[in-house]
Structure 1
Amino acid sequence: MTPTASPDIVELVAPDGATATLALHGGHLLSWRPANSPEQLYLSPRSEYASGKAIRGGVPVCFPQFAERGPLPKHGFARTLPWELVSREVGKEDALAVLRLRDSDATRAIWPHAFELELSVRVAGKTLDIELACENNGEAALQFTTALHTYLRVADLDDVSVEGLAGLRYFDSIKQAEALQRMDLLLTGEKGVLDLDRIYFGVKEKPLLVAENRRQVVITQQGFDDAVIWNPGPERCAKLADMPPQGWSEMLCVEAANIGRPIELQPGDSWVGRQSLALL
């Protein structure tokens, strides 16, 4: 369950009733409810809200390393550290929160760079905007890979498709091989593809449409070149202590990412990436 009573939880409520919930632990978006609509993100009921532990579901921030593609802990350290709340405000049409993470003795011990991350979450109507910004505050260049590891909630994975991937090259992390997505729709679930873990390159600002029966979510991104589509399937899900055995059938990750070509920042430079979700 979401620890809504905790002082480390930030609640956003837009004037039209759209809501979002964030945890300062990990700078983690836990919930998104568009106006007059149900929950759109999957959050595992077995998630641990403990120091050094990553929350399972919602939108984890992967930084400065994606997955195990490097020497750092899996998905880096941003998703397991405490962030600070910079601001929270409600406008005429929206609600916005800004969270911040700076380097520390602990981060510099494993990644020797001075940096500042800002996560901005804006909710209004049927839309959600998640923006991640990084500034190099050090005296040397730095490189990182990153992703907004968005867990979309679904009712039945067999009924879900993702449109907009046709013609893209991808890396299959299960088969450890590259391939070309030839069909316009990626079908998932027992009738389609199980144990799905793919990095699609060159997505950039191309919109993706996630459809399930009458529900459609359009996902667009700016500043992110790649996208990850992930579902553990039943066998891998059963091995995840922080997921219920059937949790795989209730979620699909569609992640804005920069993996194929790491972001490089010179001293004083900054980068911004955004993922926007719209419920149609």
Structure 2
Amino acid sequence: MTPFNVIQEGDGPSRIVLSERTGSTAEVLLYGGQVVSWKNEKREEMLFMSNKDILKPSKAIRGGMPICFPQFSNLGSLEQHGFARTRLWSLDSSPSPLPPVNNQSTLDLLLKSTEEDLKTWSHRFELRLRISLSAGKLTLIPRVRNTDSKAFSFTFALRNYLSVSDISEVRVEGLETLDYFDNLLERERYTEQADAITFDGEIDRVYLGTPTKIAIIDHEKKRTFVLRKEGMPDAAVWNPWDKKAKALLDLGDEDYKTMLCVDSAAIETPIVLKPFEEWKGRQELSTVSSSYCSGQLDPRKVLYGFT
């Protein structure tokens, strides 16, 4: 069985479809190396995609799982969230030293620095991404190799646009008591006081030194996303709410109600690579059914009870 199918739609970018035996699928564009769909075995969509997004050259795609490299946000001299999400990636024919994956549908992608990129970010690199689909789980393994003769630093994030039933019925557990930068308040540093993060307005935060597991609980769907990550110690949480959604041209006015971004990230402390060194991260996103007692989900079961 081939691990994936490549679909070419007119003049648009190649769309690669991963599928596995239980019926779940994932769709990836070579444009941006971006996952734009992840459906479970019931054909339910797990990721949010804007209903106003139009694919244009040099424009980022609003939704799915964009890759933010070599900077997150607009804290550097580059375009917001870097340029990796607006470049055309290629299939990676030599993803070693990662071992082959058994019983999973897997895709390996590669982005190399171009002469055009070097004009704005003067560092040669190779950015590799392995995407693996298995029953109930989507795994992304990003790797950055310094192919330059001098060291460089970067920040990185896997932005996860999650599809939720109603943002007001969602809570995030695992980030309580942690410090965070609030991007709505000039990146001032605060400490999370709530037992869980809930949503009643715009939020744009970077939580620092986060655990390896975070739970995103959708009360209405009785479904929990479990985010596991390695090599990315921070977690960005974003929802634009109504006013910001109306100001974003590629987002529907009501789209904020059915989306939430919870990202795996390395932001506070940039990653430094010496010549020919490589950094590797890992993210596993899975879903489990939620059971409730007095409206509360046992966070210990969600955060620590699943292997």
TM-score normalised by the chain length of structure 2: 0.85
Distance 1:220 1:57 in 2: 20
Match in the other structure for 1:25: 31
Q: What amino acid sits opposite 1:158 in the alignment?
A: S
Match in the other structure for 2:300: none
CA deviation after TM superposition for structure 1 residue 46, in Å? 1.5
Distance 2:239 2:8 in 1: 27
Match in the other structure for 1:164: 174
Match in the other structure for 1:121: 131
Equivalent residue in structure 2 for 1:199, among 191, 194, 206 = 206
Give the secondary structure class of the aligned counterpart of 1:131: strand
Q: What amino acid sits opposite 1:265 in the alignment?
A: L
CA deviation after TM superposition for structure 1 residue 244, in Å? 0.6
How many aligned positions are there? 272
Q: What amino acid sits opposite 2:196 in the alignment?
A: L
- Structure 1: unaligned runs, 5 residues or longer: none
CA deviation after TM superposition for structure 1 residue 34, in Å? 2.3
Same amino acid, percent of matched pairs: 35
Task: State the Cα deviation string for residues 134-164 of structure 1 (Å, max 9, x = none).
Answer: 0000000010001001100011111100000
CA deviation after TM superposition for structure 1 residue 204, in Å? 4.6
Equivalent residue in structure 2 for 1:108, among 112, 118, 121 = 118
Distance verdict in 2 for CA 1:141–1:101, change over 3 Å: same
> What RMSD over aligned residues (CA atoms) do the two structures have, in Å?
1.7
Match in the other structure for 1:237: 245
Contact between 1:144 and 1:263, CA under 8 Å: does it hold in 2?
yes
Match in the other structure for 2:189: 178
Match in the other structure for 2:58: 52
Distance 1:101 1:48 in 2: 23
Contact between 1:35 and 1:124, CA under 8 Å: does it hold in 2?
no
- Structure 2: unaligned runs, 5 residues or longer: 1-6, 289-307
Q: What amino acid sits opposite 1:131 in the alignment?
A: I
| 1:222 equivalent in alignment to 2:193 | no
Q: What amino acid sits opposite 1:8 in the alignment?
A: S
Distance 2:30 2:276 in 1: 26
Match in the other structure for 1:248: 256
Contact between 2:13 and 2:30, CA under 8 Å: does it hold in 1?
no
Distance 1:187 1:150 in 2: 17
Distance verdict in 2 for CA 1:236–1:138, change over 3 Å: same
Stretches of 4+ aligned residues off by more than 6 angstroms = none
Give the secondary structure class of the aligned counterpart of 2:185: coil
Equivalent residue in structure 2 for 1:139, among 140, 145, 149 = 149
Match in the other structure for 2:305: none
| 1:12 equivalent in alignment to 2:18 | yes
Give the secondary structure class of the aligned counterpart of 1:203: coil
